[in-house]
Chains A and B, each alone.
Chain A
Amino acid sequence: MLTNKIFIKKTRLGGVMKIVREHYLRDDISCGSMACVKNCQGLEREPLEESPDSDSSLLRKSHYIIPDTNVVLHQIDVLEDPSIKNVIILQTVLDEIRHRSAPVYKRVTEMISSSQKHFYTYCNEFNMNTYVERKPGESANDRNDRAIRKAVGWYSSHLKDAGVLVLLLTNDVENLKYALSKNLNAYTIYDYVKSLSNKTIVDRLANPLNQSISDKNKVLFAEHLGMAEIQKGIRSGKYLQGTILISRENYLEANVSIRDKDQMVFVQGLQNLNRAVNDDVVVIEILPESEWSCPSSMVLAEDEGKDEEDEENRGLNDSEKLIQNKVPRELRQPTGRVVGIVKRNWRQYCGILQPSILKERTRHLFIPAEKRIPKIRIETRQSDALASKRIIVAIDSWPRNSRYPLGHFVRCLGGVGDKDTENEVLLLEHDVPHSNFSEAVLSFLPKMPWTITEEDLKRRRDLRHLDICSVDPPGCTDIDDALHCRSLSNGNFEVGVHIADVSHFIRPGNALDQEAANRGTTVYLTDKRIDMVPDLLSSNLCSLRSGVNRFAFSVLWEMTPQADIISTDFTKSIIDSKASLTYAEAQLKIDDPNASDNLTKSLRGLNHLAKILKKKRLDNGALSLASTEVRFFVDSETNDPIDVQTKELRETNSMVEEFMLLANIAVAEKILKEFPDNALLRRHPSPPVSNFDPLIKAAASKGFKIDVSSGKGLADSLDKAVVPENPYFNTMLRIMTTRCMMQAVYFCSGMLQPMDYLHYGLATPIYTHFTSPIRRYSDIIAHRLLAVSIGADASYPELLEKTKIQSLCNNLNYRHKMAQYAGRASVNLHTHLFFKTRVQDEQGHVLFVRKNALQILIPKYGLEGTVFLNDEGQKTSSLFVYDEEMNTQTAGNVTIHVFDPVIVQLSIDRSNVQHMKLSLKLVKPEIPGFSVPSVKDTSTLSTQEPVGKSAQKKRKMM
Chain B
Amino acid sequence: MAGMELLSDQGFRTDGRKPNELRRIRFKKGVFKQADGSAYLEQGNTKVLAAVYGPHEIRGSKGKALHDKLLINCQYSMATFSTQDRKRRPRGDRKSQEMTMHLKQTFNAVVLTELFPKVQLDIYVEVLQSDGGNYCASVNAATLALIDAGIPMKDYVIACSGSFVKDTPIVDINHLEESTAGAEIIVAVLPRFDQIVFIEMNSRLHEDHLSRVMDQVMNGCKDIFNILNQQVKDELCKKAAIDKLVDAG
Partner of B5, one of A22, A24, A98, A112: A98
In whole angstroms, what is the CA distance A25 to B21 when docked? 13
Asked if B45 is at the interface (CB within 8 A of a chain A CB), the reply is yes
Most buried by B among A17, A25, A507, A797: A797
- Of B12-20, B100-108, B143-151, B188-196, the stretch lying at the interface with chain A is B12-20
Asked if B167 is at the interface (CB within 8 A of a chain A CB), the reply is yes
Chain A interface, >50% SS class: mixed
Partner of B15, one of A1, A23, A109, A113: A23
B5 (CB) vs chain A CBs: closest residue: A98
Asked if A20 is at the interface (CB within 8 A of a chain B CB), the reply is yes
Asked if B93 is at the interface (CB within 8 A of a chain A CB), the reply is no
In the complex, are the beta carbons of B209 and A3 less than 8 A apart?
no
Q: Give min CB distance, A69 to chain B, whole Å.
A: 14
Interface 1/0 per residue, A487-498 and B, CB below 8 Å: 000000000000
In whole angstroms, what is the CA distance A271 to B21 when docked? 59
In the complex, are the beta carbons of B166 and A121 less than 8 A apart?
no
In whole angstroms, what is the CA distance A165 to B174 when docked? 39
In the complex, are the beta carbons of A21 and B176 less than 8 A apart?
yes
Interface 1/0 per residue, A14-32 and B, CB below 8 Å: 0001111111111000000
In the complex, are the beta carbons of B17 and A102 less than 8 A apart?
no
Given contact pairs A2-B22, A109-B9, A797 touches B182 in the complex (Cβ within 8 A): yes
In the complex, are the beta carbons of A125 and B2 less than 8 A apart?
no
Asked if B30 is at the interface (CB within 8 A of a chain A CB), the reply is no
Interface 1/0 per residue, A379-407 and B, CB below 8 Å: 00000000000000000000000000000
Please give, as numbers and ranges, the residues of chain B lying within 8 Å of A17 by CB-CB distance.
84-85
Given contact pairs A2-B223, A22-B15, A24-B15, A121 touches B176 in the complex (Cβ within 8 A): no
- Interface positions, chain A 1-56, Cβ under 8 Å from B, are 1-3, 5, 7, 9, 17-26
Partner of A3, one of B85, B174, B227: B227
- Of A332-340, A597-605, A788-796, the stretch lying at the interface with chain B is A788-796
In the complex, are the beta carbons of B14 and A21 less than 8 A apart?
yes
Given contact pairs A17-B84, A22-B23, A795-B206, A1 touches B16 in the complex (Cβ within 8 A): no
In whole angstroms, what is the CA distance A68 to B205 when docked? 41
Partner of B21, one of A2, A21, A125, A507: A2
Asked if A624 is at the interface (CB within 8 A of a chain B CB), the reply is no
- Interface positions, chain A 696-751, Cβ under 8 Å from B, are none
In the complex, are the beta carbons of A25 and B16 less than 8 A apart?
yes
Most buried by B among A123, A507, A510, A793: A123
In the complex, are the beta carbons of A19 and B84 less than 8 A apart?
yes
Given contact pairs A23-B16, A796-B182, A3 touches B25 in the complex (Cβ within 8 A): yes
Asked if A447 is at the interface (CB within 8 A of a chain B CB), the reply is no
Given contact pairs A21-B15, A112-B9, A794 touches B21 in the complex (Cβ within 8 A): no
Asked if B62 is at the interface (CB within 8 A of a chain A CB), the reply is no
Please give, as numbers and ranges, the residues of chain B lying within 8 Å of A3 by CB-CB distance.
21-25, 223, 227
Asked if B54 is at the interface (CB within 8 A of a chain A CB), the reply is no
In the complex, are the beta carbons of A22 and B206 less than 8 A apart?
no
Asked if B55 is at the interface (CB within 8 A of a chain A CB), the reply is no
B26 (CB) vs chain A CBs: closest residue: A3
In the complex, are the beta carbons of B1 and A2 less than 8 A apart?
no
A795 (CB) vs chain B CBs: closest residue: B204
Please give, as numbers and ranges, the residues of chain A lying within 8 Å of B226 by CB-CB distance.
1
Given contact pairs A1-B223, A21-B15, A793 touches B206 in the complex (Cβ within 8 A): yes
Partner of B167, one of A91, A105, A126, A510: A510
Report how many A-B pairs have Cβ atoms within 8 Å: 83
Given contact pairs A3-B21, A112-B9, A22 touches B2 in the complex (Cβ within 8 A): no
In whole angstroms, what is the CA distance A795 to B204 when docked? 7
In whole angstroms, what is the CA distance A70 to B37 when docked? 58
In whole angstroms, what is the CA distance A126 to B18 when docked? 11
Asked if B208 is at the interface (CB within 8 A of a chain A CB), the reply is yes
Interface 1/0 per residue, B205-218 and A, CB below 8 Å: 11011000000000
The count of chain A contact residues (Cβ–Cβ below 8 Å) is: 36
B206 (CB) vs chain A CBs: closest residue: A794
Q: Give min CB distance, B206 to chain A, whole Å.
A: 3
Asked if B202 is at the interface (CB within 8 A of a chain A CB), the reply is no
In the complex, are the beta carbons of B206 and A123 less than 8 A apart?
no
Q: Give min CB distance, A429 to chain B, whole Å.
A: 24
In whole angstroms, what is the CA distance A2 to B43 when docked? 13
In whole angstroms, what is the CA distance A102 to B15 when docked? 22
Interface 1/0 per residue, B82-109 and A, CB below 8 Å: 0011000000000000000000000000
Q: Give min CB distance, B226 to chain A, whole Å.
A: 7
In the complex, are the beta carbons of B45 and A121 less than 8 A apart?
no
In the complex, are the beta carbons of B45 and A22 less than 8 A apart?
yes
In whole angstroms, what is the CA distance A917 to B17 when docked? 60
In the complex, are the beta carbons of A22 and B209 less than 8 A apart?
no
Q: Give min CB distance, A446 to chain B, whole Å.
A: 15
> Interface on B for A, CB 8 Å cutoff?
1-2, 5, 8-10, 12, 14-18, 20-25, 44-45, 84-85, 131, 166-167, 174, 176, 181-182, 204-206, 208-209, 223, 226-227
Report 23 cross-chain contacts, Cβ distance below 8 Å, ordered by A residue: A2-B22, A2-B223, A3-B21, A3-B25, A7-B24, A9-B45, A18-B84, A21-B45, A22-B45, A23-B15, A24-B16, A24-B17, A24-B24, A98-B1, A99-B2, A109-B9, A123-B12, A125-B16, A126-B16, A507-B167, A509-B166, A794-B204, A794-B206
A-B CB proximity, top 3 nearest: A794-B206, A24-B16, A126-B16
